[in-house]
Amino acid sequence: MKIEKLSDLFLHTLQDIYYAENHIVKALPKMIKASDSKELAKAFTDHLEQTKEQVTRLQEVFSMLDQKPKATKCPAIDGILEEAQELMSEIKDPDTKDAAMIAAAQAVEHYEITRYGTLVAWANLLGYNSASKLLGKTLKEEYGADSKLTKIAEAHLNAEAVA
């Protein structure tokens, strides 16, 4: 895709996060299965359902732009998910594995927060008000997911990994 103006960059970034969200939908079931903590597994399960809704929301944004939903390969999310998978396979202690999965999931959340924050700002500049609202809803959810993971880690999971 040739990027010449902000609307092109917006579309490219939308395709990037669409790729990321679809890959997150595939990665979360593995993280749910690998979780030792029922609380963490539930958080991942809840976020899987939320992520599926976010994919649908992205499809709505594509439609608003008269574009077909299309994914552009995202090396950043591939790297984050690959590292998470590697850690999950290397760590034997269940509590340490849970701590590592929270850290990996938060790396994903932080990536999504940067992408959605940027998309909301650009959508506002470009006059894509309806798209901005949808993307803003997802941005709020990503902040919430990050906060929930922090609470789980700080409440007990990180301490359990130390023991």
pTM here is 0.93
Reported as a single tens digit per residue, the pLDDT across 2-43 is: 999 999 999 999 999 999 999 999 999 999 999 999 999 999
Reported residue count of the chain is 163
**Average pLDDT over the chain, rounded to whole?**
95
Residue 1 clears pLDDT 80, i.e. is over it = no
pLDDT value of position 147? 96
Q: What is the CA radius of gyration of the chain?
A: 17
Averaged pLDDT, 53-58: 98
pLDDT value of position 115? 97
Give start and end residues of each alpha helix (H) in 36-157.
Answer: 38-64, 75-90, 94-126, 129-152
Residue 129 clears pLDDT 90, i.e. is over it = yes
CATH 1.20.1260.10 describes domain 6-162: yes
The secondary structure of residue 101, as a DSSP letter, is: H
Averaged pLDDT, 85-109: 92
- 3-class secondary-structure state, position 128: coil
Which tokens in the block code for residue 87?
Answer: 């850690």
pLDDT value of position 101? 93
Averaged pLDDT, 110-127: 98
Q: How far is CA 82 from CA 19, 86, 101, in A?
A: 15, 6, 12
Phi (first) and psi of residue 93, to 5 degrees: -65, 120
Confidence bin at 161 (pLDDT 50/70/90): confident
pLDDT value of position 163? 74
Domains of the chain, by residue range, sit at: 6-162
Interhelix angle 6-34/75-90, nearest 10 degrees = 10
Residue type, 119: L
